[in-house]
A and B are shown apart, each in its own frame.
Chain A
Amino acid sequence: MSERALRVGLPILVLALVLLVWDLVVRAFAIPPYVLPGPGLVLSTLISDGGLLWHSLLVTLTTAFEGFLLAAVGGIGLAVLFSQSRLIEYSLYPYAVILQVTPIVAIAPLLLIYLPQPLAVLACAWIVAFFPVLANTTLGLSSVDHNLVALFELYKASRWQLLWNLKLPSALPQMLAGLRIAGGLSLIGAVVAEIAAGSAGAGSGLAYRIAESGYRLNIPRMFAALLLLSAAGVVIFFALSALSHLALRRWHESALKRET
């Protein structure tokens, strides 16, 4: 079998096995659905509650997407600013780190007090997602080939030319790596904030559905919502990986196939 067929085939085989065992266990021990629903029931719930869950998914994805965009703009913008001025970097970088190391679950309730809920959820998605973009882009901007910098100097390049023609393209691989992490994290940030807001009962996102279904012991719907959430995460990851590959395929080692 070819490498490619194995890479696709093996995970599918594992999935089939897990589903089979799951189904057999639920049937054999007659486990009631409010403890553990079988895969068939989860699937039928996904279809019967489809409209509701789809709407919730869109709400969460919209938040995650907005958070991601803000994180991308903020992270790259701040990194560029840092690369232009050491003073700004020294002044602000520690606070970016503090924002990152403080667990978002602990910040979310506070944000929910001060901000209207949709904005608080968005803020959480942004806080979680922006740091990897900042850190990776900063690394990329500072690891430019010194000889190329000398070359730009020799030809009297302006600051702007140096940034646009050398530093940004050179930082692109790291920047894209940061964005790829940020994509998944923005979804996590949105979910965490929705869960934290869940008890306030004003949300309609997918994480809110999970919390609500939990209170109502609607375990099949919890599973269905969870399934949608991880599917969304996987789609985001692959979309950003594809974007990264497209941008780098002509030149960067990470996107090149090794000849053997």
Chain B
Amino acid sequence: MSSSGSNIVSLRNVGKTFESGTVALDGLSLDVSDGEFVSLLGPSGCGKSTALRLIAGLNTPSAGAVEWPGGRGKIGFVFQEPTLMPWADVAANVRLPLKLAHADPAKAQAAAMQALTQVGLADFAQSYPRELSGGMKMRTSIARALVTEPQLLLMDEPFAALDEITRFKLNNDLLTLWQSLRRTVIFVTHSVFESVYLSQRIVVMTPRPSRVFADIGIPAPYPRDERFRTSADFAGYCRTVSEALGKAMGGAS
């Protein structure tokens, strides 16, 4: 499945230096095309999360620019933690983005229920976050990111804190969602296996200074399932990506 669409977002020589003097990014350039599933892969502290926050507009770059060829559309963001409001039930958490946009409450509720159905949580709309398992909290968080029907979904190591069984399940569900909704996804992870399983393209980043080290395509066809996860192709891609990651880190020390 090729992504022949035009670019949805482009980073041009983006640099980010924090007030503390830490250089998080230095000359990062990246194009993401419409409908693509891209992973940013790198060790902790390589600035991948910073790149994601710059794209989301939560931070401003100190150098370079974030460009939106087709105009900046709606963005959904999934944090490393579920980041739910504990005082609000699941439906209210998912409705939040629409509520902040002053949407009609009935329509917001309908959209929230639809998003919850997409992540398989329709029966838990009235539950409170504390009553949910880690995986279900993350699903709620994804439903909230989807509720505004964003063109671009940014995910910052969303499954890093989950156990492997739950992570595999969520990986599969995320792929199914991506195939049915055809949104662009930029997925930050430090797991080689997760990035290979999910992505069409993996961008390997170097730590300090952070920039793109390698851009590796994963041409395996979708839908991908457990058979792909145990295939020789999968192992081969993982080896290629692992070697690139090793060189990226070696080059930094």
Residues of A within 8 A of B (CB): 145, 147-148, 150-157, 161, 165-166, 169-170, 172, 250-252, 256
Contacts and interface: CB of A to CB of B under 8 A. Distances in A.
A152 B87 contact: no
Chain B interface residue bracket vs A: 20 to 34
Interface string B184-226: 0000000000000000000000000000000000000000000
Interface string B56-96: 11100000000000000001010101010111100000001
Contact of A154 (B77, B81, B88): B77
B130 A251 contact: yes
A193 to B, nearest CB: 37
Contacts of B99: 165
8 residue pairs, one from A and one from B, having the closest CB atoms: A147-B83, A155-B100, A251-B86, A155-B97, A157-B100, A147-B79, A169-B87, A251-B87
Contacts of B148: 155
13 contacts: A145-B83, A148-B85, A151-B79, A154-B56, A154-B57, A155-B96, A155-B100, A157-B100, A161-B100, A165-B96, A165-B99, A169-B87, A250-B87
B101 interface: yes
Interface of B: 53, 56-58, 75, 77, 79, 81, 83, 85-88, 96-97, 99-101, 128-130, 148
B145 to A, nearest CB: 9
Nearest to A172: B87
Contacts, number: 50
B100 A152 contact: yes
A96 B58 CA distance: 35
Contacts of A170: 85, 87
Contacts of B57: 154
Contacts of A151: 77, 79, 83, 96
Contact of B58 (A150, A157, A252): A150
B130 A256 contact: yes
B50 to A, nearest CB: 13
B100 A165 contact: yes
A156 B130 contact: no
B234 to A, nearest CB: 33
